[in-house]
Amino acid sequence: MDVYLKKLEDELKLRKYSPKTIKAYTVCVENYLKAKRSNFEIVDVNFIKQYILSKINAGKSSQTTNQNLQAINFFCWNVLKYKGKIDIHFAKTPNKLPIILSRDEIQKILSEISNEKHKLMIVLAYSGGLRVSEIINLKIKDINLAELIIHIKGAKGNKDRITVFPEKLIIDVEKSIANKNSNDYFFTSERGGKLTERTAQKVFKNALRKSGIKKDATFHSLRHSFATHLLENGVDVRYVQELLGHANIRTTQIYTHAMNPAIKKIKSPF
């Protein structure tokens, strides 16, 4: 089994998949091979179908079952070099609206953060629509204060993109980067090196709890809120798509449902 998993890891690295995806795919395929027990080199579509059904019957989410199927497909086609068709459809994912924080709620969260570095991290994530992985990997050279832009490098799907930087933060950022090397991470831990995703998420979670806001918001809600507030300000959805780095416009359009101003103006007949 280890030989096949090593081949899988190598194939994923060659295609420049992110470390997170490599780990997730490896776990999925490892569990699949453990369930198969033997004849790893043989692709049994019916076994794969039954394996995916077992995930669904166990109450796993659509996202989890789909990731398992994606990982197994990749393994069969790229490691085992299977040329046949794996005729198994992906599970339909629920069309859930993202959790959006209002501008006032974001200000409440910020007011609960006493550490200036942590507060700047939350503000920057919101004001540029950054994922938690992008904020911790941000380097000083990635922020262009003259042009008010942030260059996100090697983001999801190993893509680069440009997003906006708020003019209000220029002085705070200049203070933060004084006497630092351009190759240094913008947000560093007390022990040196970049912050971990877990630390960044914990900062947000603690501030959310202290603020008394009852929404099931996460660090990623800052990115959702960034997109929604831009649309509310009249920014074209295609520009928002570019700032977020979405490959498909339909992914961005979900925010138009979240902020729908026409619905908000309707009063209940009660």
220 is known as an active-site residue? yes
* Among 108, 117, 141, 156, the one annotated catalytic: 156
Given the residues 25, 126, 185, 255, select the one marked as catalytic: 255
Q: Which of the residues 118, 131, 194, 229 is marked catalytic?
A: 131
Asked if 156 is an active-site residue, the reply is yes
Catalytic residue selected from 118, 194, 229, 246: 246
Residue 51 CA to residue 231 CA, distance in Å, equals 42
Catalytic residue among 49, 60, 117, 220: 220
Looking at 118, 194, 223, 229, which residue is catalytic? Answer: 223
**Is 131 tagged catalytic?**
yes
Cite the active site residues.
131, 156, 220, 223, 246, 255
